[in-house]
A and B are shown apart, each in its own frame.
Chain A
Amino acid sequence: MVPLSYYLVLSGILFSCGVVGFLIKRNIITIFMSIELMLNGVNLSFVAFAAHWHALAGQVFVFFVMVVAAAETAVGLAIIIAVYRTRETLNVDRVNLLKL
């Protein structure tokens, strides 16, 4: 059988890929996608622990994480559209002044 630590290592690697993406990417949509990658990594470790400790609460928590991620995506993308409409750019380095 597959040891729990394998799942946790995979989850950790996915999470760190998300962190790296959040730090190095300049396009705001790609940054947002790195956040989603982080959330997915965390979901994997939730489900792995739920299977390991035979506690279904882990899977229910994943369900809630997905719901919250969906809500956050909707609002975040709406903000991105609003930013694009005023600044005409999606590069975070260019959105660095409060003045237009």
Chain B
Amino acid sequence: MLSVHLILFLAFGAIALAGAINLLAQTHPINSALSLIAVMAALAGEYLLLGAEFVAAVQVIVYAGAVMVLFVFVIMLLNAGVEERTRGSRVALLFGIPGTLLGSVLIAWVILQHSATGSVTAGAWGDRVSQLSSQAVPGSPETIGPLLFHEFLLPFEITSILILIAIMGAVVLASKPPSAPVLPREGN
């Protein structure tokens, strides 16, 4: 019962939960950002446990290593200070936390009731994976690559256009507004 798999799952899960709760508990955004990075790193460990090595690597490189750097940049640039408590936040605390707690306990109970037979094991994978060499671990880049470029080619191309639009949007939104043109003086 107490296999290495379970111990590692619990360890990474504990780190992820601690990070998530710390994100809520901290008042300074930089501490929240660092807790979120800890959550992402712990989730990368969970993905490795589930055999998704490419996704784990992409999580570390892209999510924890680039997206969160962007967050940290903005927090540093805008010099975001400690949060203040307002009336709206007190009301939200009063209703939000019990409500969400109730909802999540309900969902967890339903899931555990129906937990049935499922356990994460190896087995026969889909068609395309079985065509590849037997050494390729499902979840390694060799197996995800063909999927990305054959079945999922259209979403792949659309997301690349999406990134292009996001780059253009970010550059336009964050650039300085053009200053008023200086009118030429009369005389001279």
- Chain A 5-41 interface mask (CB, 8 Å, partner B; 1/0): 1111110111111111101111101101110110010
- Chain B 126-168 interface mask (CB, 8 Å, partner A; 1/0): 1011000000001100011001100110011001001101110
How many residues of chain B are within 8 Å of chain A by beta carbon?
93
Cross-interface CB contact of B24 among A21, A69, A74, A84, cutoff 8 Å: A21
**How many Å lie between the Cα of A52 and that of B51 in the bound state?**
11
Q: Which residues of A are found within 8 Å of B84, using beta-carbon distances?
A: 26, 91
- Chain A 74-93 interface mask (CB, 8 Å, partner B; 1/0): 11011111101100001101
What residue of chain B has the Cβ atom nearest to residue A9's Cβ?
B108
Given the interface pairs A10-B13, A64-B155, the reply to whether A90 lies near B147 with Cβ below 8 Å is: no
| Pairwise interchain contact B47-A47, C-beta atoms closer than 8 A | yes
Q: Which residues of B are found within 8 Å of A93, using beta-carbon distances?
A: 86-89
**How many Å lie between the Cα of A37 and that of B36 in the bound state?**
7
Given the interface pairs A17-B20, A20-B24, the reply to whether A4 lies near B74 with Cβ below 8 Å is: no
Given the interface pairs A4-B118, A26-B89, A44-B43, the reply to whether A74 lies near B70 with Cβ below 8 Å is: yes
**How many Å lie between the Cα of A34 and that of B111 in the bound state?**
23
What residue of chain A has the Cβ atom nearest to residue B17's Cβ?
A13
Cross-interface CB contact of A4 among B3, B93, B115, B128, cutoff 8 Å: B115
Q: Which residues of A are found within 8 Å of B174, using beta-carbon distances?
A: 77-78, 81-82
Interface residue SS majority, chain A: helix
**How many Å lie between the Cα of A3 and that of B107 in the bound state?**
16
Q: Which residues of B are found within 8 Å of A64, using beta-carbon distances?
A: 152, 155-156, 159
| Pairwise interchain contact B59-A37, C-beta atoms closer than 8 A | no
| Pairwise interchain contact A2-B119, C-beta atoms closer than 8 A | yes
Given the interface pairs A12-B104, A24-B96, A78-B173, the reply to whether A91 lies near B23 with Cβ below 8 Å is: no
Can you give 25 contacting A-B residue pairs, CB < 8 Å? A13-B104, A16-B103, A20-B24, A20-B100, A24-B89, A26-B84, A29-B29, A29-B74, A29-B75, A33-B33, A33-B36, A40-B63, A47-B46, A50-B50, A52-B118, A54-B126, A56-B126, A59-B55, A64-B156, A66-B63, A71-B159, A71-B165, A75-B166, A81-B173, A81-B174
Additional A-B contacts beyond A23-B92, A63-B54, A93-B86 (6; CB < 8 A): A14-B16, A33-B36, A37-B23, A64-B155, A66-B63, A78-B170
Residue numbers of A with Cβ under 8 A of B are 1-10, 12-21, 23-27, 29-30, 32-34, 36-37, 40, 43-44, 47-48, 50-52, 54-57, 59-60, 62-64, 66-75, 77-82, 84-85, 90-91, 93
